[in-house]
Amino acid sequence: MKQTMYNKQRIHKTNGLELGLFTSGDYLPHPTTKKCQTPSERIQQIIQMGQLAEQAGLDIFQVGEAHQKHFLSQSQMTILASIAATTNQIKLSTGATIIGVADPVRVFEDAATIDLISNGRMELVCGRSQRLGLFKLLGYSLDDYEELFDEKFQLLLALNHQEVVNWTGEFRPPLEDQLILPRPYNQEQLPIYRAVRGSVNSLREAAQMGVPIYCAQLDRDLDTMKAYLNVYREELSNAGYQPDDMPIATAGYLYVGPGSQQATKNYQHYISAGYDRLQTDIYESVDFEHAQSVDSLINVGSPSLVVDKLLKQHEELGHQRFVGQIDFGGVTFDEIRRTIDLIGEKVIPEVKKYTAKK
């Protein structure tokens, strides 16, 4: 039984701690030169990032969804489909899909199609969104923020579970004996994670529903994170699940450079300038002050420091996957490429060596 749940999520312990990249699809000028790529260049380079991530041996590549100025990932599914068609191994995922403002039927159709295109490499992460402008754009009310997520997420899970669906809800017309096509690769279910950040309620709900979580760790320390994940595990137990049996993914900053101090300084420069440019209060700059410590969840530094951090996190948190953001705030493509190369050469072999189960 233990193995079943992992298989269902297409996670295999023999693979060790899975490492991946995510992009929020931001479109921001370089902080110093103020130069901006064209929108077409940026989108094409995100697709290339996915290809480079595969070549470097990363396990997964995720594309976020944003519908606002300074972002280019309004249509995360077409970007992911492009990566699916030009790669062979790497898993693909949204991160997150704002399911409350979408039609779960369309989301499932898109994701299942990408699963067929990629021979079974597609996953979904569903969140509620911190950026709220998209509610108005896509025709939903912020008053229904929680209820929309709950209803639509449940519906998505039902579509994934059954081929013929009967369903009634408040925010979408009912489905009566509707055939949901296409089905994912080999008639499997799509792995579907719930995105959580600070809310203990979100954790509890995910546990009660028996869905794996994708947890942003941006502004936490290791102990707080550990306690937070343990709430999820306890609640899984309470709900009758085997906690060790449910994969956990974490997500945060990732940046490597030859020297730890220089790497931290470089990346902080991008992050701060990016947040300044976005100028909304939900984008709070994260404190890089303690980033040099092995206990910091900001996975920035020399390759060996980042390896030490990831191994410590794996030991303490017992998670199955870490997904890092290397491209926020106008990072040049040369730097993106160098970072991916360094991760492939220096970080992945070490992390896999100590975490892969023989």
Which residues in 261-290 contact a second copy (CB under 8 A)? none
List 6, 71, 145, 283, residue binding a second copy (CB under 8 A): 71
Q: Where are the beta strands (DSSP E) in 224-352?
A: 248-256, 299-301, 321-325
Least Å distance, CB 171 to a second copy, is 10
- Counting contacts by CB under 8 A, is residue 195 touching a second copy? no
- Of the pair 9, 82, the CB lying nearest a second copy is at 82
Which residues in 136-165 contact a second copy (CB under 8 A)? 136-140
Least Å distance, CB 24 to a second copy, is 14
Burial annotation 237-274 (CB, 10 A radius, 16+ → b, else e): eeeebebebbbbbbbbbbbbbeebeebbebbbbbbebb
Least Å distance, CB 179 to a second copy, is 6
Least Å distance, CB 41 to a second copy, is 9
Stretch (H or E) spanning 263 = helix 260-278
| CA 273/CA 349 separation, integer angstroms | 32
Q: Retrieve residue 128's tokens.
A: 């509620």
Rounded to 5 degrees, φ, ψ at 211 are: -110, 145
Site stretch for a second copy (CB under 8 A), options 68-76, 196-204, 238-246, 318-326: 68-76
List 69, 143, 240, 281, residue binding a second copy (CB under 8 A): 69
Q: Retrieve residue 124's tokens.
A: 């979904």
Number of residues that bind a second copy (CB under 8 A): 48
Which residues in 24-43 contact a second copy (CB under 8 A)? 39-40, 43
| CA 234/CA 255 separation, integer angstroms | 33
Residue 34 burial class via C-beta count within 10 angstroms: exposed 0-12, middle 13-18, buried 19 and up: exposed
List 32, 68, 242, 304, residue binding a second copy (CB under 8 A): 68
Least Å distance, CB 44 to a second copy, is 7
3-state secondary structure 219-260: CCEHHHHHHHHHHHHHHHHHCCCCHHHCCEEEEEEEEECCCH
Least Å distance, CB 99 to a second copy, is 14
Which residues in 83-112 contact a second copy (CB under 8 A)? 83-86, 103, 105-106, 109-110, 112
| Diameter over CA atoms, the chain | 60
CA–chain centroid gap for 271, Å, is 18
Site stretch for a second copy (CB under 8 A), options 89-97, 134-142, 282-290, 346-354: 134-142
- Of the pair 113, 332, the CB lying nearest a second copy is at 113
Looking at the DSSP bridge assignments, the partners of residue 255 are 300
Q: Retrieve residue 198's tokens.
A: 């600070």
List 114, 203, 225, 351, residue binding a second copy (CB under 8 A): 114
Rounded to 5 degrees, φ, ψ at 21 are: -125, 150
Least Å distance, CB 21 to a second copy, is 18
CB 134 within 8 A of CB 100: no
Least Å distance, CB 83 to a second copy, is 8
Amino acid at 133: G
Q: What is the dihedral of CA 12, 15, 17, 19, to 10 degrees?
A: -100
Least Å distance, CB 101 to a second copy, is 10
Positions touching a second copy (CB under 8 A) are 39-40, 43-44, 47, 67-69, 71-72, 74-75, 77-86, 103, 105-106, 109-110, 112-114, 116-117, 119, 136-140, 172-173, 175-176, 178-179, 181-183, 185
